[in-house]
Structure 1
Amino acid sequence: MDNTSPQSSIIKPEKMKIEPTEDEQIKIEYSNTDTTDFPNPPNMKKEPDTHTPSSEFVAFNEFHIKEEEPFVDISSESEEVYSSNMKQIVEEVDLNAEVQESSLNLEDEEVKVIPEDEEANPENQNPFSSFNESKTDPPEIIPGKKRKKRKLSKAEERALKQQKLISGHPVHPPCQNCRLKCSERVSPQIRENMNKEFWSLIGLVNRRSFIIKHVKRVEVKRRTAAANSKKRNNVFNYYLSDESGEKMKVCKTFFLTTLGFKANNDCALFNAMRDVDNETLEPRMDMRGKVKNQDKKLSRNNAIHRHVNSFHPCISHFRREDLPSRRYVSNELTIKDMHADFTEKYHAYRSCSYESYRTILMDMDVSFAKVGIEECDTCESFNKHDPSHDRKHLAPDCDTCYKWSIHIKRASEAKEKYQSHVAEVSINLETAYFTADLQKAVLLPKMDPFKVVMFTRRLLVFNKCFLPLSPTDSNTKPLVLLWHEGIAGRKEEEIISVFYQFFLEHRDKKRIVLWLDDSYAQNKNWKFLTFLVYIVNSRDVEIESVEIFYFEAGHNCMAMDSFYHQVETSIKRKGKIYDFKDFENAVRQPNSKNFNVKTLTPWDFRDFKDESSSQKLKTLISKPLMNDIKYLKAARKSFTLKYRMNYDERMDLAELDFLRVKVMKSGLSKPAVVGTYRGIPEEKKKELVEKLVEDMPVSRRDFWYNLPVGAVPDLIDNNE
């Protein structure tokens, strides 16, 4: 090796600031020293020699080499390879230097020391080879800045999708008591091989080709009906191949379960045999997502949107804040009926399939208002986000799994606390334990579907129930409060007025415990918190304390769901609900003796105000988030609330001081009575009278004729 330093003429690029390590300097010294003096390379882990390499060597070797990398022996044959690599790098650096506008003097160049935490850390990479490939400066790594996660490439996504297909279609149990004795003739290993071969095929067309090659269409051997009969003329024979390629006849169940399908799911089989080109005997091209006329598809989708909106889906009472986009149609309808009506009215889109209509309906976030069925959106998102992540196999790096684990833990804690309160009912006689909820959207009148009634804006009815925790509690009865949008709406002060009527019914109780839905619109706003302070300090009741427990969202009281299910069943049995009095009777009918049912009037509603101090809320050191509060307590002679973020009674309560100073000094005054009907829009009443009243009995018509009107929005599609 030549001891002269060819690097002395190198001009260092301005951006190259990577310093050599100690091991690298030793390599350079050794490579430029007569190797006859060193029969073996020096130990890289020992302290380097006191000889200091010249600046030319330091400038040339500004490449970062990890100390953990093994030392490369260059004593004999490796020396020539190492020298050639060095020469190649020198030539490339020379090329880079010629492009520079101004050159730097190598001796005057100051060697910059880079901290270890800013150094790049390429694992298992040769720094020289990476430089040769890129021919650019190494990327700058900013300390403390988190790198964004790279998305999967298309090839990786396809591979992941294929892996999910394989794992989601294992071999199922074979047929039982089959006359072909499939399980005896075909070994489990052959079944596994056939399953792997089938699902390793990429694309629907290839998998259909596999089915076509192993299924044979034959004519029926014996016909018991006429030749022109509608009975089938062909049957299918199914075959599996062994190791030698010989085909063995098996039954349909055995064939499907071997390929990973359920025994009763033959859709893939018949779809493959149906879409066969008669000339080539090959499956036709997969046309999914390849619609030629996109304008026609868009026009059809718009028509479906118009048709769905013609049913006037309305916003739910208690979920309008949590899910503002979710709307509900009457549970008298089904998707099948809606699709049939669409194909009948829109002749140009008669070919629209049920599945296409259903998909667009779901995309519109329209659901059916089934009383007694509550949806948990967190659990629904968890169930759909990844098939490989389930309750027993949570991914530690998955954000959805982490949120769901916290969510389900809180739901379990709430359930345990709820059950402990059920056990306390018979012990604490001075305490009233209740749960309360508002029924989902109910529309009147309820008449025969698919008449004009289904496409008319109907009257919105409200049903708020306060149910005791224990059905064996003889001291307290359930309280059901009813009203419709002509009397009052569902604003915060109107919902609070319903709570006020409940407290008046139980004014002699010393302590009231309520389990409520975790809804900000009803039970967690500042106006409701102001009301809690007012009612517990009011002279209208003897209550000493009110305690509110909040369910985890989507996991409400099953007893309340059961009650509303009874209401729905009673409505279905009654058949037709023409007016508000019919609805009231349907609610009373299931438990007429055990329930207190009361219809509210405008004089039962009060104008409750929000007396919270915005200045106090801004200056709170630890302002709680409403969604995190799980327990609230209001006590007499106190104008602050106590709260907790969990259900553990061992944890200390935090104080919430939120009322205005003026209110805390003078107290909360009794709100004024509303005393006037809200009414409904005049156009809505006119539509109801013209389209529906004529089909009602004469005894029910007066209710609709006397329905008050007002300059108010329609609550079906308004968030008021």
Structure 2
Amino acid sequence: MEDGCGRGCRYKCHINFNQQKREGIFHGFWKLSDTQRQWDFLATHVTEFEAKRASHAEKSSSRRQKSKEWTLPLDVNNVAVCKTFFLDTLNISEARVITAIKKKVSGISFTSGDVRERHHTRPTKNSIERDAVKAHIESFPTVESHYYRHSTQRRYLEADLSLQMMHRLYAEGRPNALSLTSYKTSFYSEYNIGFHKPKKDVCDFCSTHLQAIKVDPNINQEAYLQHRKGIDTIRQSKKSIKRRVRQTNDEAGATFDLEEVLPTPKSNESCLYYKRKLNTYNLTVFDFDDVQARNFVWNERQAKRGSNEIASCVYKYLLNKAAEGKRKVYLFSTPAQVKIEIRTF
């Protein structure tokens, strides 16, 4: 599912439909049993009519003759939305909507049947192939979210993968392989998995506010502005500490952060996509005084990546600094990932 329209949309799509409602519509659409029922849904919620207004260049052949009204279900009503929001919520192309409209039976909101699999001269795509699709999807190892692992059950595939690539791997050596559309339907309707896309780190407060403002652009921003002011204060303090530790011999400062999980080994060989890779973790500590990075690397067989492991790495770093004669150390981190609070020692 894509982001949809911007907050300036005249239909106020994000105000009428929050993320939870959008996900409900998305999963409901892809859980429809067959293509015909999906066409019925599209034909019911998209109405095509003659364009009401003509431009000053009325005779121009480029002027569109048809307009469409896009709606999505909200409680017991259908609420108008923009085209971008409609297509992004269902994660489909406009071509699929046009196909459904063409198949709409005149006068009622039901489409003609899908006859693509009803030729008696062709073998029917049976449940064996559908089970093969499920088995193939489940053969790819998944990982939890790096940024939101405590607040979501969604699992993620490697960022190098895509549905097109997965379908190509599935279809290799299968003369009766299902289409990409069928593969995609199974993927979206039966699994809560996605493809990992690296995102910029934000704290919980900022993340909550940025999501809320998508729903209500007029939300009170006083608390958020105060929060941002605090961030600016910390940044200025950080700059001041950087200058100070470079001028003294008994003080040090650093930032530390846990890198995104590193699946090991990393390769584009297709056979490795089906293997459960070893998760490797890397905590980087960057010194202000000597402008050097220290890396603490371990794998999932040795330890987890919780607060105890992070604290152990930081403790080791502090011991090394104490051996160098440092009496005070300033540490900065990202609470969004590391649930420990360490500032000065």
* Length-normalised TM-score, structure 1: 0.31
Counterpart of 1:437, as a letter, is: D
* C-alpha distance in 1 between matches for 2:47 and 2:68: 15
Counterpart of 1:276, as a letter, is: K
Residue pairs, 1:361-440, within 5 angstroms? 364-368=192-196, 370=198, 373-374=200-201, 389-390=216-217, 393-394=218-219, 406=223, 409-428=226-245, 429-430=247-248, 431-440=251-260
Do 2:264 and 2:279's aligned partners in 1 also have CA atoms closer than 8 Å? yes
Look up the match of 1:209: 48
CA gap of 1:273–1:483, structure 2 versus 1, over 3 A, is closer
Query: Which residue of 294, 314, 323 corresponds with 1:499?
Result: 314
Look up the match of 2:326: 509
The reply on whether 1:442 has 2:262 as its aligned counterpart is: yes
Do 2:48 and 2:66's aligned partners in 1 also have CA atoms closer than 8 Å? no
Report the Cα offset of residue 511 of structure 1.
Answer: 1.8
Report the Cα offset of residue 496 of structure 1.
Answer: 2.6
Residue pairs, 1:689-708, within 5 angstroms? none
Do 1:276 and 1:284's aligned partners in 2 also have CA atoms closer than 8 Å? no
Report the Cα offset of residue 448 of structure 1.
Answer: 2.4
Counterpart of 1:503, as a letter, is: L
* C-alpha distance in 2 between matches for 1:485 and 1:377: 26
Counterpart of 2:254, as a letter, is: F
Q: Deviations over 1:153-203 (max 9, x none)?
A: xxxxxxxxxxx996259xxxxxxxxxxxxxxxxxxxxxxxxxxxxxxxxx9
| Identical residues among aligned pairs (%) | 17
Do 1:316 and 1:327's aligned partners in 2 also have CA atoms closer than 8 Å? yes
Do 2:202 and 2:336's aligned partners in 1 also have CA atoms closer than 8 Å? no
**Residue ranges of structure 2 left out of the alignment (5+ in a row):** 1-7, 14-41, 70-81, 88-92, 113-124
CA gap of 1:439–1:253, structure 2 versus 1, over 3 A, is farther
Report the Cα offset of residue 348 of structure 1.
Answer: 6.6
Look up the match of 1:28: none
Higher share of residues assigned strand: 2
Residue 167 of structure 1 aligns to a residue whose secondary structure is: coil
Residue 254 of structure 2 aligns to a residue whose secondary structure is: strand
Query: Which residue of 452, 466, 472 corresponds with 2:285?
Result: 466
Look up the match of 1:167: 11
* C-alpha distance in 1 between matches for 2:183 and 2:208: 25
Residue 298 of structure 2 aligns to a residue whose secondary structure is: strand
Counterpart of 2:260, as a letter, is: K
Do 1:460 and 1:484's aligned partners in 2 also have CA atoms closer than 8 Å? yes
Residue 160 of structure 2 aligns to a residue whose secondary structure is: coil
* C-alpha distance in 2 between matches for 1:354 and 1:377: 35
Residue pairs, 1:170-185, within 5 angstroms? none
Look up the match of 1:310: 139
Do 1:516 and 1:523's aligned partners in 2 also have CA atoms closer than 8 Å? no
* Length-normalised TM-score, structure 2: 0.57
Do 1:304 and 1:360's aligned partners in 2 also have CA atoms closer than 8 Å? no
Report the Cα offset of residue 438 of structure 1.
Answer: 1.1
Report the Cα offset of residue 518 of structure 1.
Answer: 1.6
Counterpart of 1:416, as a letter, is: T
Report the Cα offset of residue 240 of structure 1.
Answer: 4.1
Look up the match of 1:575: none
* C-alpha distance in 1 between matches for 2:128 and 2:213: 33
Which one has more relative contact order, counting CA pairs under 8 Å at least 6 apart? 2
Look up the match of 2:101: 275
Residue pairs, 1:38-437, within 5 angstroms? 167=11, 208-210=47-49, 213-214=50-51, 240-241=53-54, 248-250=58-60, 252=62, 268=94, 271-272=97-98, 275-276=101-102, 280=106, 285=110, 306-315=135-144, 320=149, 322-323=150-151, 325-342=153-170, 349-350=178-179, 352-353=181-182, 356=185, 359-360=188-189, 364-368=192-196, 370=198, 373-374=200-201, 389-390=216-217, 393-394=218-219, 406=223, 409-428=226-245, 429-430=247-248, 431-437=251-257
Counterpart of 2:201, as a letter, is: E
Counterpart of 1:209, as a letter, is: E
Do 2:263 and 2:280's aligned partners in 1 also have CA atoms closer than 8 Å? yes
**Residue ranges of structure 1 left out of the alignment (5+ in a row):** 1-163, 170-202, 215-238, 288-295, 397-401, 530-546, 549-632, 635-720
CA gap of 1:278–1:324, structure 2 versus 1, over 3 A, is closer
Q: Deviations over 1:329-362 (max 9, x none)?
A: 322223432344456688574363576356448x
Do 2:252 and 2:289's aligned partners in 1 also have CA atoms closer than 8 Å? no
* C-alpha distance in 1 between matches for 2:225 and 2:186: 34
